[in-house]
Amino acid sequence: MNIMVFRAVKPCYDYDFLAIPQRQYIIFQDCEMEIEISKEGKRNFKGDDILLIENIDEKVHKTRNLVDIERSLVFRTI
């Protein structure tokens, strides 16, 4: 089943390495954040960027806000 989740996250709430439950797109709405992918290093994303995360077998990414604002994201499972 495909699910779409809209999430607003406080600026101080950064995630340590975590696994995802299934393949999904992350759509960045109005934030600037850094995502560290365990095997690929760090990348920055901002509003209107879309990231496809496919590796669901291990803890593969962690996130950090780059600006001190609430971040808005959309998660779309596939």
pLDDT band at 14 (very low <50, low <70, confident <90, very high): confident
CATH architecture of 4-77: Sandwich (2.60)
> Facing residues of 7 across strands?
73
Confidence of residue 46 (pLDDT cuts 50, 70, 90): very high
Q: How is the chain split into domains, by residue range?
A: 4-77
Q: Which of 18, 69, 27 is nearest to 47 (CA)?
A: 27
pLDDT at 22: 84
Angle at 66 between CA 60 and CA 69, to 5 degrees: 115
**Residues ≥6 apart with Cβ < 8 Å to 64:** 14, 33, 34, 36
More confident site: 57 or 42: 42
Residues 6 or more apart whose CB falls under 8 angstroms from that of 22 comprise 56, 77, 78
